[in-house]
Chains A and B, each alone.
Chain A
Amino acid sequence: MAALNPPMADRTSGRSPSSGPAGPAVRRPGRPGRPRPRLWRGLVGLVAAVYFLGPMAFSVLFTVDVPREGLTASSYRGILDAEGFWPSLRLTLELAAATIAVTLLLLVPALIAVRLSVPRLRALVEVLCSLPLVVPAVALTAGLGSVLQWGPDDFADTPLFQTFNSLQEPGFPVVLLLAYVLMALPLAYRTLDAGLRALDLATLVEAARNCGASWPRTVLQVVLPNLRGALLNTAFLTLALVLGEYTVSSILGYQPFAVWIVSLGGSNAQVSVAVSVLSLVLTWVLLLLLAAAGRGRAHRTPRATSRRAARRPSRTAPGAASGRTPGREDALPGSANSPRTGGTPPLDPDTLPEKP
């Protein structure tokens, strides 16, 4: 989730990394005339905001400012009634779900296997997964079109003819799914690879195996939960790709959401732009939801988890079963069972002193 999550606050100091080691910017003596970095940051932020939000604002204005009617939300109200809205949205969401599933099913086991068993193949897998980046969508579509023509041309009298037909079924065009999986591979590979790099995969797997976990349980209960952020990122990027994909579906003659928006633009420009704005908002909402989900329970603060620990009744006093005298660690100032603070944990548990 490195790309999607906001920077985590420094656990030691509780400050955000952006505030620097000294926290809020402090004017340093001896450099009175030098502009402060915060000013530059603000300026850059403002320019970026104008660049990104300006077109958005004008798009919104275009959809709500109707000549002779003034400001009205009729464009947005008209979306639901627009012809083809629901079929195209349903098709896009179905394709997105299928693309996400196929991409993850294809890549996750492959990348885990490569990392654990044949790391020397990593470079090859990376090249293979990156290839779609250098193939333009138009070229890919032209290739697909040629292959699909083999059906009627060469397989008319064979069972393969039916296969070629079903690949192009308008209800759910598998050919689009295949194209989208190919197009999503570079993004998905990089996201998953970054997630796997962040793990000590071999040790985690060995630890799980040593605890009695079979291979499937190791992957399902140890590897995947720790790849949660990368999986969500992959899902989001794939979803965004499918939502916005136009070239392949348009050339192959299907009408998913993006194609429908463009086709609508010819007859009702305001509704078309309103749909675009809504889809953008929808994408942002998904982004935020995924970022929130990607934080996971392991990123809860020590304070929260320790509070739960303090609420739970302790079965035995620390060290009781082992006959140990509770040491310094057992009654740290600020630890969950500290008599002085009554369960307020220290800010940074990593600085806890060890048992003497």
Chain B
Amino acid sequence: MTATEAEAPAPTGRTGGATVEFRGLRRAFGTTVALDGLDLTAHPGELLALLGPSGCGKTTALRVLAGFEQPDAGDVLVDGRDITAVSAHRRGTGMVFQSYSLFPHLTALENTAFGLRMRGTGRAERQRRAAELLDLVGLSHLADRFPHQMSGGQQQRVALARALALRPRVLLLDEPLSALDAKVRLSLREEIRRLQLDLGITTLFVTHDQEEALSMADRVAVLRSGRVEQVAEPGELYARPATAFVAEFVGTMSRVPAERTSSTGTVDVLGMRLPVSGELPAAGELDALVRPEAVALTADPHGPATVVAAAFLGATTRLTVRLPEGTEVKADLPTETAAALPIGSRAALALPERPVLVDHRRVP
């Protein structure tokens, strides 16, 4: 690399991310309410994942921010400026779509330079910047390929380069990895995160894949029925879910019957008295929500549980045990330890003395 090249500014430059705010956003499609008073803020430079099941409104929120949907009520603010009424082509956000969305009649280089062309950048300058962006995503050698001559992963990289070409301060990723196979997904996931950190762009990343959200995001917003259920850092979201929905959506949870006790804020679970984390429902039967790694399982010929299934996960094995009343509980054990608990063997269960999340009993 020459000295001139070394001193040249980065192709997109550190744009510095913008603050994005959704305020009381509401959007309905006929009788279906996609967004029901969504309030959410993305801080400058952070990667905020919008996580939730299908139909929870995460893509609608992103489309409202991109300007492809108009909200029925509420505002979208970028750096404090209300952009709700701004036309989509003037918002200056970069977006990567789920379905590649490259222009089939343009090469990778032309696709990347498209936004610059729309902005009136001179031919030489836009070709230079597009080439640099393709280099940034490792595809400079495919600059003259058309989309149908590239694999899915390559197309998504070009789409990412195209989205970054206009130096956006907000980057929107609408399930960009869901159409890719597992290996490509993993590599592209790391690449997106690297670029996002390098460039410092505020990024909203829509996904229904909790692993993707937890591994990439600075914070994760779990959405349900058009509202935010919880926004937290991945570790906190996993360790201290605010609601039963979040607990069950993020990671794996087993429901174990729990009994109210005479003392306030505690429940009896598997013969142990444990404090309740969060809100204790006022009435009705209860379930305690237990993570598989929190369950201690030991071989015991007189134990109450029977091992009914085992799933090898590499270093750990996930055992499923059935309690006498029929409840099934999952437990993650080191694979060597799990070897002592073959299917059909009896085991004893224990939980750590930590607060547990409880919820209304769910009838199977």
Residues on A close to B: CB < 8 A? 199-200, 203-204, 206-214, 217, 222, 225-226, 228, 296-298, 300, 302, 305-306, 308-309, 312, 314-316, 318-322, 324, 327, 329-330, 335-337, 349-352, 354-356
Contact = CB atoms under 8 A, between A and B. Distances in A.
B67 to A, nearest CB: 7
Interface string B83-125: 0000011111111010101111101000000110011000000
Interface stretch (B146-154, B227-235, B310-318): B146-154
Contacts of A214: 89
A211 B138 contact: no
B213 interface: no
Contact of A309 (B91, B118, B142, B166): B142
Contacts of B89: 209-214
Contact of B101 (A207, A228, A329): A207
Contacts of B145: 302, 305-306, 309, 349
Given A211-B115, A298-B104, A206 B88 contact: yes
Contact of B141 (A206, A228, A330, A354): A330
Contacts of A296: 105
26 contacts: A199-B104, A200-B99, A206-B66, A206-B95, A207-B97, A207-B159, A208-B114, A209-B67, A210-B94, A212-B89, A212-B118, A212-B166, A225-B103, A298-B148, A305-B144, A309-B143, A312-B143, A314-B140, A316-B132, A318-B138, A320-B135, A322-B137, A336-B141, A350-B150, A352-B154, A356-B187
Given A305-B144, A309-B143, A319-B138, A209 B131 contact: no
A209 B331 CA distance: 49
Contacts of B146: 298, 300, 305
State the 10 A-B residue pairs at the shortest beta-carbon distance, nearest first: A211-B115, A309-B144, A212-B118, A207-B101, A354-B184, A225-B105, A209-B88, A210-B95, A302-B149, A354-B153
Contacts of B142: 309, 336
B7 to A, nearest CB: 12
B97 A321 contact: no
A321 B11 contact: yes
Nearest to A227: B105
Interface in B140-180: 140-146, 148-151, 153-154, 159, 162-163, 165-166
A310 to B, nearest CB: 9
A203 B184 contact: no
B88 A211 contact: no
B141 A222 contact: no
A349 B154 CA distance: 10
A2 to B, nearest CB: 15
Contacts of A297: 105
Contacts of A203: 97, 99, 101
A209 B89 CA distance: 5
A315 B104 CA distance: 25
Nearest to A302: B149
B135 A322 contact: yes
Nearest to A356: B187
Contacts of A206: 66, 68, 88, 95, 97, 101
Contacts of B66: 206, 210
B75 to A, nearest CB: 20
Nearest to A311: B144
A101 B74 CA distance: 44
Contacts of A351: 151
Given A226-B104, A355-B153, 4 more contacts: A305-B149, A318-B135, A322-B136, A349-B150
A312 B101 CA distance: 26
Contact of B151 (A217, A324, A336, A350): A350
A210 B96 CA distance: 9
Contacts of A200: 99, 101
B325 interface: no
A297 B86 CA distance: 36
B140 A352 contact: no
Contacts of A337: 141
A306 B144 CA distance: 6
B302 interface: no
B174 to A, nearest CB: 10
Contacts of B183: 354
Contact of A212 (B119, B148, B184): B119
A175 to B, nearest CB: 38
Interface in B278-336: none
B103 A208 contact: yes
Interface string B1-13: 1000100001100
Contacts of B11: 321
Contacts of B163: 210
Contacts of A327: 138
Contact of A318 (B92, B141, B153): B141
Contacts of A204: 101, 103
Contact of A321 (B68, B103, B136, B144): B136
A297 to B, nearest CB: 7
A102 B151 CA distance: 40
B151 A352 contact: yes
A297 B144 CA distance: 11
B189 to A, nearest CB: 12
B199 to A, nearest CB: 11
The residue in B148, B159, B166, B188 that gathers the most chain A C-beta atoms within 10 A of its C-beta is B148
Nearest to B183: A354
A355 B187 contact: yes
Contacts of A309: 141-145
B159 to A, nearest CB: 8
B103 A324 contact: no
The residue in B5, B105, B143 that gathers the most chain A C-beta atoms within 10 A of its C-beta is B105
Contacts of B151: 349-352, 354
A335 B149 contact: no
Contacts of B105: 225-226, 228, 296-298
Nearest to A224: B105
Contacts of B91: 210
Interface string B215-234: 00000000000000000000
A309 B109 CA distance: 11
B103 A207 contact: yes
